[in-house]
């Protein structure tokens, strides 16, 4: 092992910032990060062993103890649930004789859940040793089970099994044509970089990750910093459940995304860029490396780009299963080889980002749009959108509709139009912007996609009347509790308390004051949390409670107090120990007198 | 002329580079806090020091004081939230004040008294946490750790060591020890280290020093934490 790690570290120039990349390789080889590996790494990278342990324990894809040689993770997004994930996972567990959350005795296979894998338009999805597999069916599980039992490496599985579709179903300015390689840079250098930044300003382009900060303003702030060492970072940690547009962009339009990054680098005078790719998108990694190599050959990356005396290159770093790393300062921490904990602000990344140097962090779609604007000009882009929201927005549409996939719409498009295009009928409501966004009811379909009305990073999940809203809320609330980084008290404890309280109500143990208690807790977490995760974690509850208060109330018992847990179930251990199962060894949840 | 911020209607002078809590402390204004200690790099995680700055919630221990800020520190809304955050810390770990050696000297308890906290409000987590009694002089009771990070910072910034770190994620967050076994006895901590003495709760205790001051005569038995804290932390 020592030799393997030494070689690996040499390949990574002994850079502690590349810790996550190194851990990925070690885990792929040994199924875990052992104590021996940790000690080797601490010496080799000259960092404390506790930094390594804390990183391993932070990211859900790293483990201190071995998982199966085939680590199978079922995507636990609500969209997977809608497509029958539970039954399929049970089928897999039965077929492979492995329990959920366990490693089979022979060490061949382990099974667990994972957060949304970004394959919501072709779920249920699973990850096996990091490789994404879409459209899971019983037949597909039979094939996979056989391959695992025969110990065929996942990399040798047929293309048919590993196929991931793009499903681009509606295009507009951004997706109609990919720009030719180098066109955005040529246009920008010809027009002048300052003038091109002015075009981006004119386009009204705002960050496409969801927060919507003005792109030109962000680039300008960074360029105006005194510190000369600057960085460009592309945020491809697309973790919001229901979002998958960045996966498609990186699969089909990667050149243009990289060109947008290069344009930004030229503008802010950065020499190094990073693509932070979520670990779930490992299946894109090799192709993206190849595209970077092509761009170096084409003189679009590397030294003296387009003979302009401008040097810039891009490195790809993989995440490892942590939604919080989509938050830009947490992403920067992760890029530095640390736990993804959002930083205190100020200072903002534009002044102190990667390695405390000025850094622009933008979403994949933002860079794609910036490159297009450099070619077509700002006005053409702005003209497409609404008053405050320039251009178009890519939506990742999934859930109850006939045609799930990627749709490009001008800002200002009505929800009803979108639902019609994707073939959604009998709609109960739509989750716009993912769990951290808004649940809208079927009374609100005249509303629009825009920063003025319904702001979204791109997630658009449709639910029909057969769905139970409270189960949706439960899934989202569990998601946030699972993904809270744990830094601040209100989010760390609050998201788990929200989970307990939602479970209590949906499992029928709620009594009179419980909805009010839930509402108070929501406000507490929202108002006091450190970052966007905690500030939006209560949104699924708040936005549905506002629209369907009667739904919550109907779950409550007509009594003033009920224990928040199942009394009888809690006695199971005692009954087993006492070897009793008579009537007196059981307890009623609520005394009859009080009902 | 020095610059000023306004806290609860009172003009407070500040120097460039000071955080809100530093300016407040110098002026004799107490803002409740647990993870903040003026000797160390601000952390901003406990969120007890949340104040309203021009209507927006900010952590006073990390947010820079800036000319013209209109700050609310004492209001029913803020103190209600602070009480709930304190209750969150109580239910997250296992805090049994009557049987804890730190009782009366505990800042978590002191803040609870200050905020008039009467119960734990939220359901308990009954977390399964361990005790590390391996070291001859120092005891760690993880049940009482509130993740203030002060031992981590004290070890790095005062002791020039790296004995502690925070690991895990979310509700599974935990304090870990930098040694090959993970036990304190194999780390390079010394009983005289600042890190061994800085814990605001009873999570890190010095062995064989218990109950030297009787219960009833301890710090917060007679004084409130605002007065104690200001006296200790004013520069």
Alpha helix (H) residue ranges in B27-137: 76-92, 107-114
Work out the end-to-end distance of chain B between its first and last CA atoms, rounded to an integer number of angstroms: 21
Chain A CB contacts of B85 under 8 Å are: 489-490, 524, 528
Q: Which pLDDT value is given to residue A557?
A: 78
Q: Are A152 and A114 in contact (CB under 8 A)?
A: no
Domain end, chosen from A127, A143, A162, is at A162
Question: Rounded distance, CA A230 to CA B215, Å?
Answer: 57
Q: Which pLDDT value is given to residue A564?
A: 74
A185 lies in some domain: yes
Average pLDDT taken over every residue of chain B: 97
Residues A324 and A203 in one domain: yes
Q: Indicate yes or no: CB of B170 within 8 angstroms of CB of A50.
A: no
Q: What is the CATH number of the domain that holds A133?
A: 3.40.30.10
A594 lies in some domain: no
Chain A CB contacts of B183 under 8 Å are: none
Check residue B102 and report its DSSP letter.
T
Residues A54 and A123 in one domain: no
A356 lies in some domain: yes
Q: Is A449 exposed, middle or buried (0-12, 13-18, 19+ CB in 10 A)?
A: buried
Could you write out the DSSP letters of every residue in A351-376? TS-GGGS-EEEEEHHHHHHHHHHHHH
Instruction: Give per-residue pLDDT as tens, B138-197.
Output: 999 999 999 999 999 999 999 999 999 999 999 999 999 999 999 999 999 999 999 999
* Range(s) of the domain holding residue A135: 70-162
Question: Rounded distance, CA B101 to CA B105, Å?
Answer: 9
Of A322, A344, A497, which has the smallest distance from its Cβ to B122's Cβ?
A497
Beta bridge partners of A170: A407
* Prior bond of A347 cis (ω within 30°): yes
Q: Indicate yes or no: CB of B81 within 8 angstroms of CB of A524.
A: yes
| Residues of chain B contacting A, Cβ within 8 Å | 42, 44-48, 50, 57, 59, 62, 64, 81, 84-85, 88-89, 91-92, 122-123, 125, 146-147, 162, 164-173, 176-178, 180
A239 lies in some domain: yes
pTM of this structure: 0.95
Residues A217 and A362 in one domain: yes
Give the mean pLDDT of B110-123: 97
Name the closest residue on chain A to residue B162, using Cα atoms: A48
Give the mean pLDDT of B105-128: 97
Residues A130 and A195 in one domain: no
Q: Indicate yes or no: CB of B178 within 8 angstroms of CB of A482.
A: no
Chain A CB contacts of B93 under 8 Å are: none
Residue B105: closest CA among B215, B13, B192, B227: B215
Q: What is the CATH number of the domain that holds A543?
A: 1.20.1440.230
Residues A214 and A130 in one domain: no
Q: Indicate yes or no: CB of B165 within 8 angstroms of CB of A488.
A: no
Residues A212 and A260 in one domain: yes
Q: Show Cβ contacts of residue A24 under 8 Å, excluding neighbours closer than 6 positions.
A: A61, A130, A279, A318, A320
Tally Cβ neighbours within 10 Å of residue B6: 13
Of A54, A483, A524, which has the smallest distance from its Cβ to B166's Cβ?
A54
Per the structure, how many domains does chain A have?
Answer: 4
Of A50, A485, A564, which has the smallest distance from its Cβ to B165's Cβ?
A50
Q: Is A121 exposed, middle or buried (0-12, 13-18, 19+ CB in 10 A)?
A: buried
Residues A235 and A356 in one domain: yes
Q: How far are the Cα atoms of A247, A251, A367, A380, A498 from residue A285, in angstroms, in the given order? A: 11, 10, 18, 33, 36
A566 lies in some domain: no
Question: Rounded distance, CA A534 to CA A539, Å?
Answer: 10
Interface mutation target, options A115, A528, A532, A534, chain B, most CBs of B under 10 Å: A528
Residue A263: closest CA among A227, A229, A206, A215: A215
Chain A residues 196-255 with CB within 8 Å of chain B: none
Q: Indicate yes or no: CB of A486 within 8 angstroms of CB of B57.
A: no
Q: Indicate yes or no: CB of A486 within 8 angstroms of CB of B162.
A: no
Q: Indicate yes or no: CB of A481 within 8 angstroms of CB of B164.
A: no
Q: Indicate yes or no: CB of A39 within 8 angstroms of CB of B92.
A: no
Domains by residue range for chain B, with CATH: 3-74 (3.10.20.740), 94-223 (3.30.70.20)
* Prior bond of A221 cis (ω within 30°): no
- Residue A223 in 3-state DSSP? helix
What does each of the 595 residues of chain A score in pLDDT, given as a tens digit?
999 999 999 999 999 999 999 999 999 999 999 999 999 999 999 999 999 999 999 999 999 999 999 999 999 999 999 999 999 999 999 999 999 999 999 999 999 999 999 999 999 999 999 999 999 999 999 999 999 999 999 999 999 999 999 999 999 999 999 999 999 999 999 999 999 999 999 999 999 988 899 999 999 999 999 999 999 999 999 999 999 999 999 999 999 999 999 999 999 999 999 999 999 999 999 999 999 999 999 999 999 999 999 999 999 999 999 999 999 999 999 999 999 999 999 999 999 999 999 999 999 999 999 999 999 999 999 999 998 899 999 999 999 999 999 999 999 999 999 999 999 999 999 999 999 999 999 999 999 999 999 999 999 999 999 999 999 999 999 999 999 999 999 999 999 999 999 999 999 888 888 999 999 999 999 999 999 999 999 999 999 999 999 999 898 877 666 777 788 888 999 999 999 999 889 988 766 544 4
Q: Distance from A474 to chain B by nearest Cα, in Å?
A: 18
Chain B CB contacts of A51 under 8 Å are: 165
Chain B CB contacts of A487 under 8 Å are: 45
Q: Distance from B81 to chain A by nearest Cα, in Å?
A: 6
- Beta strands (DSSP E) in A4-108 are 70-75, 102-103
Q: Which pLDDT value is given to residue A594?
A: 45
Q: Distance from B3 to chain A by nearest Cα, in Å?
A: 19
Q: Indicate yes or no: CB of B44 within 8 angstroms of CB of A528.
A: no
Q: Are A486 and B168 in contact (CB under 8 A)?
A: yes
Q: Which pLDDT value is given to residue A589?
A: 75
Residues A237 and A344 in one domain: yes
Q: Which pLDDT value is given to residue A593?
A: 45
Q: Indicate yes or no: CB of A50 within 8 angstroms of CB of B178.
A: yes
Residue A17: closest CA among A259, A225, A281, A272: A272
Q: Indicate yes or no: CB of B123 within 8 angstroms of CB of A490.
A: no
Domain end, chosen from A318, A348, A383, is at A383
Domain end, chosen from A349, A383, A417, is at A383
Residues A54 and A78 in one domain: no
Interface mutation target, options B46, B69, B167, B187, chain A, most CBs of A under 10 Å: B167
Give the mean pLDDT of B64-77: 97
Question: Rounded distance, CA B128 to CA A505, Å?
Answer: 25
Check residue A585 and report its DSSP letter.
G
CB of A570 within 8 Å of any CB in chain B? no
Residues A107 and A182 in one domain: no
Instruction: Give per-residue pLDDT as tens, B13-40.
Output: 999 999 999 999 999 999 999 999 999 9
Q: Indicate yes or no: CB of A493 within 8 angstroms of CB of B170.
A: no
Residues A371 and A322 in one domain: yes
Residue A541: closest CA among A484, A483, A476: A476
Q: Is A242 left (phi over 0), alpha (psi -120 to 50) or beta?
A: left
A588 lies in some domain: no
Q: What is the CATH number of the domain that holds A277?
A: 3.40.50.11540
ipTM of the prediction greater than 0.95, yes or no = yes
Question: Rounded distance, CA B222 to CA A359, Å?
Answer: 51
- Of all residues in chain B, the percent with pLDDT exceeding 70 is 99
Q: Which pLDDT value is given to residue A592?
A: 52
A429 lies in some domain: no
Q: Indicate yes or no: CB of B47 within 8 angstroms of CB of A488.
A: yes
CB of A465 within 8 Å of any CB in chain B? no
Alpha helix (H) residue ranges in B104-149: 107-114
Q: How far are the Cα atoms of A58, A204, A444, A458, B111 from residue A386, in angstroms, in the given order? A: 41, 10, 19, 17, 50
A449 lies in some domain: no
Q: Indicate yes or no: CB of B170 within 8 angstroms of CB of A482.
A: yes
Chain A CB contacts of B42 under 8 Å are: 344
Query: What per-residue string of b and e applies to A346-380 under the rule 16 or more CB within 10 Å gives b?
Result: eebbbbbbbeebbbbbbbbbbbbbbbbbbbebbeb
CB of A492 within 8 Å of any CB in chain B? yes
Residue A260: closest CA among A302, A230, A215: A215
Residues A120 and A33 in one domain: no
Q: Distance from B218 to chain A by nearest Cα, in Å?
A: 27
Q: Show Cβ contacts of residue A22 under 8 Å, excluding neighbours closer than 6 positions.
A: A5, A8, A9, A12, A41, A45
Tally Cβ neighbours within 10 Å of residue A221: 18
Q: Show Cβ contacts of residue A295 under 8 Å, excluding neighbours closer than 6 positions.
A: A181, A255, A258, A301
Of A35, A484, A490, which has the smallest distance from its Cβ to B170's Cβ?
A484
Q: Distance from B82 to chain A by nearest Cα, in Å?
A: 9
Q: Which pLDDT value is given to residue B1?
A: 57
Q: Show Cβ contacts of residue A229 under 8 Å, excluding neighbours closer than 6 positions.
A: A271, A355, A357, A358
């Amino acid at each position: 092992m020592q030799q393997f790690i030494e070689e690996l570290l040499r390949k990574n120039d002994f850079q502690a910032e590349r810790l996550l990349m190194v851990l990925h390789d070690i885990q792929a080889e040994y199924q875990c990060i052992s104590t021996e590996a940790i000690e080797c790494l601490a010496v080799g990278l000259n960092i404390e062993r506790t930094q390594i342990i804390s990183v391993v324990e932070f990211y859900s894809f790293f483990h201190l103890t071995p998982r199966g040689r085939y680590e199978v993770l079922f995507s636990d997004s609500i969209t997977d649930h809608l497509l029958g994930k539970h039954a399929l996972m049970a089928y897999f567990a039965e077929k492979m004789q492995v329990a959920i959350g366990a490693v089979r005795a022979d060490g061949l296979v382990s099974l667990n859940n994972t957060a949304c894998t970004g394959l919501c338009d072709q779920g249920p999805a699973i990850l096996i040793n990091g490789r994404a597999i879409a459209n899971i069916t019983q037949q597909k599980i039979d094939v996979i089970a056989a391959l695992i039992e025969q110990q065929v490496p996942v990399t040798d599985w047929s293309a048919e099994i590993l196929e991931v579709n793009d499903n681009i179903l509606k295009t507009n300015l951004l997706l109609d044509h990919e720009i030719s390689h180098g066109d955005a840079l040529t246009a920008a250098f010809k027009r002048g970089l300052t003038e091109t930044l002015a075009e981006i300003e004119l386009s009204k382009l705002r960050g496409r990750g969801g927060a919507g900060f003005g792109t030109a303003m962000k680039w300008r702030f960074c360029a105006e910093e005194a510190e000369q060492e600057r960085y460009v970072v592309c945020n491809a940690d697309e973790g919001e459940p229901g979002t998958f547009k960045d996966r498609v962009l990186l699969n089909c339009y990667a050149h243009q995304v990289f060109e947008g990054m290069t344009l930004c680098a030229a503008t802010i005078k950065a020499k190094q860029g990073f693509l932070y790719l979520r670990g779930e998108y490992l299946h894109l990694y090799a192709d993206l490396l190849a595209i970077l190599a092509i761009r170096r050959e084409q003189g679009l990356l590397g030294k003296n780009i387009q003979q302009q005396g401008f040097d810039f290159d891009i490195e790809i770093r993989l995440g490892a299963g942590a939604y919080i790393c989509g938050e830009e300062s947490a992403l920067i921490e992760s890029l530095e080889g640390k736990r993804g904990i959002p930083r205190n602000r100020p200072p903002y990344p534009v002044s102190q980002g990667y390695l405390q140097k000025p850094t622009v962090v933008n979403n994949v779609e933002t860079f794609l749009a910036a490159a297009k604007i450099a070619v077509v000009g700002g006005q053409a882009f702005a003209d497409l959108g609404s008053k405050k929201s320039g251009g178009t927005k890519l939506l990742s549409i999934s859930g109850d509709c006939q045609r799930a996939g990627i749709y490009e719409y001008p800002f200002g498009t009505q929800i009803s139009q979108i639902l019609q295009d994707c073939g959604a009928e009998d709609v109960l409501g739509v989750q716009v912007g993912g769990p951290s966004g808004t649940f809208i009811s079927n009374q609100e379909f005249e509303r629009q996609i825009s920063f003025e009305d319904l702001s979204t990073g791109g997630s658009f999940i449709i639910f029909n009347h057969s769905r139970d809203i409270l189960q949706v809320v439960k899934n989202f609330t569990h998601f946030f509790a699972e993904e809270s980084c744990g830094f601040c008290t209100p989010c760390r404890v609050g998201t788990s308390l929200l989970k307990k309280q939602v479970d209590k109500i949906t499992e029928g143990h709620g009594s009179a004051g419980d909805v009010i208690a839930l509402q108070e807790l929501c406000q507490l977490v929202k108002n006091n949390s450190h970052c966007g995760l905690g500030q939006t974690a209560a949104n699924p509850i708040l936005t549905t409670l506002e629209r369907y208060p009667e739904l919550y109330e109907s779950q409550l018992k007509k009594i003033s107090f009920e224990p928040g847990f199942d009394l009888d179930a809690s006695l199971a251990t005692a009954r087993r120990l006492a070897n009793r199962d008579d009537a007196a060894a059981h307890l009623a949840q609520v005394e009859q007198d009080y009902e | 002329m020095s610059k000023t911020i306004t806290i609860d209607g009172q003009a407070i002078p500040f120097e460039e580079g000071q955080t809100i809590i530093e300016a407040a402390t110098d002026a004799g204004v107490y803002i409740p806090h647990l993870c903040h200690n003026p000797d160390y790099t601000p952390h901003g995680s406990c969120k007890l020091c949340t104040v309203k700055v021009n209507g927006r919630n900010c952590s006073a221990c990390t947010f820079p004081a800036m000319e013209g800020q209109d700050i609310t520190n004492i209001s029913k809304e803020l103190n209600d939230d602070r009480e709930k955050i304190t209750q969150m810390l109580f239910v997250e770990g296992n805090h049994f004040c009557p049987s804890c050696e730190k009782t009366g000297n505990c800042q978590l308890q002191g803040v609870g008294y200050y905020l008039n906290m009467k119960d734990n409000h939220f359901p308990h987590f009954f977390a399964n946490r361990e005790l590390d009694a391996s070291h001859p002089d120092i005891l760690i009771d993880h049940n009482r750790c509130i993740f203030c990070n002060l031992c981590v910072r004290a070890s790095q910034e005062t002791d020039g060591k790296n004995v502690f770190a925070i690991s895990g994620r979310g509700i599974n967050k935990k304090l870990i020890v930098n040694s090959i076994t993970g036990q304190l006895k194999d780390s390079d901590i010394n009983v005289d280290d600042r890190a061994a003495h800085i814990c605001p709760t009873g999570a890190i205790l010095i062995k064989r020093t218990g109950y030297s001051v009787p219960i009833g005569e301890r710090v917060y038995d007679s004084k409130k934490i605002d007065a104690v804290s200001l006296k200790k932390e004013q520069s």
